[in-house]
Each structure stands twice: as C-alpha cells, then as structure tokens.
Amino acid sequence: MNVKKYLLIVTCTTFIFAIFSAGIIFFDWLHSDWDSGINMPDGTVDEHVEGLEEVEKSKPYNILLLGVDVEAKLTDVMMLCRIDPVEHKVNMLSIPRDTRVKLGSRNIKINSSFSHGGVEQVIDCVKNLTGLPVHHYFLIDTKAFRECIDALGGVYFTVPRKMDYEDPLQDLYIHLERGYQLLDGDKAEQLVRFRRYTNGDIDRIKVQQDFIKELIEQKLTAAYIMKIPDVYKVIADNSSTDMTLREMLDAGKQLLAVKDGERFKSFTVPGEGQYIGEVSYFVHYKTELANLIATEFN
C-alpha cells in the first residue's frame, strides 16, 4: 500500500474519530474489498438503514456521528456533519444529549431515542429536529474510546477546570486537574464525559469541540500512519456504518482540505436548560436553530 493511500486512510480515520469526540472507523485490509461496508459487531454488513437519503455526487451531504453507550442504550455524543465536496468545507452541528424532542405523543431526551428504535429512530429524531436529510451514519460504542486514544499516544490538552465526579452505577470516576497535560485514554474519556458545568451540555460540547481541534492538529500527520492498524483492531467489534471505504476516503479528502481550520466550523443547537415538570431538558430555540440551519447547513 502506497503512502498516499495510507495517508488518506489515516485522514478519514482521524476525521470520524475526531468528529464523535474520538470515534473511529474500522477496516480490515485482508477481509474486505474497496467497496464493502463496515463490519457490524455480529459479523454482518450493514448496507441500509431506513430513513437515509441518497447522496448526489458533487453536492453537500450529511453524516450523523454517534457515540453510543451500548449497555445503557444512550447516545452520549451526537453530531451532524455537513461536508461540501466542491467548496471543501466541513460544518459540524453538535446536538445536546438532553435536547427535548417528540416521539409519538410524548416528549423524550434525544439521547434516549436509541433505546426506542436504534439508529433509525435516532435518524428520525435528528431529521425532525433540524429539518435536514441524513445521508450516512457512523456509530461507535464509547467503550472503544480509551484504547483508541492510547493507540494514538494520547492527546495534549488544556483541561479548563478541576474535574471531580463519581457515578458507581456507570462505573464512572472522574478526577482531573486543571491545566495543560497529556491525556491518555482513561483521562480523555473522563474529559469528554464530565458534565458538571455551569451551562451544562453547552459547556461540555465546547470542551469536546476544543478536544476535536487538538486531536486533528496533533494526529492528522504522516507520523501516525503506522498507528492505524492498531487502532483498527481496537474498534473492530465496536462500530457500524452504512458507508463504504470509498465514501469514507472521500470524506477524509475533505478534511485534508480544511485541516487549517479556516474551512471547518463547529456549531451547537441553540437553546437553554429548563425543568419541565420534574425533568431537566435542553429546550432548543426554534427560530435561532432554523436560521442557523438556513445559513450554515443548507
């Protein structure tokens, strides 16, 4: 395999890995061909999910990236990424996990939509919330996160505040000091899962987006090409997508074009935290979201 092709793969890999706050693709060179889909955990290939739109060549398309806690059946990270293959622009919309959405006649938090109907239900909720089509999805179990970061040698990052939080029921123990430091897999997971911020998910998403930028800047280089096989092995049984390798490589090419950050923009669904009854939701601002979609994602 030549260096150019391998660089595209590391680009695409880091792209998916970064967008989900470190989700990453899997591809086995020995057992898959160029146009095959990504292997599902049970060994099958996921070729179609109802609700996905067809992609027109040379036109912008949207990828829904999901970090899922399989045991809890919740989407811990949800981002809709718009790729423009002509203008070479990438826009990313983060969706707070507590966003209040309709499911039938009742209201739920969008992160629980996965437990009500898997990927298809999540796609429906995202389409209803944003009014945007979903052309592809990529899902990874968040338990692969730590080992992927370790395989890449960790990420240097400035932790914005002292973080202390424990939840034995989730086997979650967060203890991070403030300041610039090398985050290994365990510490990186603590960073992206910490939620005790003044502005809740809004602050949490900002930290995730800052982490993404550092990950891209530090790891999107030829120096990490030889790390990719190790990363593939880590997440082989923990991801699923409808995308072919060719489609993922095309997405990777776009990231190469926006690596300097000038053509990469990140946004968050506008809104605020509210208690409705005894339940805490993130309630989006409909008009502001519609304007954001119209100006940046259409």
The pair of three-digit structure tokens given for residue 220, joined into one six-digit string? 């999107």
Q: What pLDDT score was predicted for residue 232?
A: 59
Q: Decide: 1 and 245 in contact? Cβ < 8 Å.
A: no
CATH pick for 3-151+200-296 out of 3.30.420.40, 3.40.630.190, 1.10.1240.10, 2.60.120.10: 3.40.630.190
Question: Cα(244)–Cα(226) distance, rounded to whole angstroms?
Answer: 22
Q: Decide: 268 and 205 in contact? Cβ < 8 Å.
A: yes
- pLDDT mean values, one per 10 residues, the chain (298 residues): 41 45 30 34 46 74 84 78 86 91 93 91 96 90 76 92 86 92 92 84 81 77 63 65 72 62 81 91 96 94
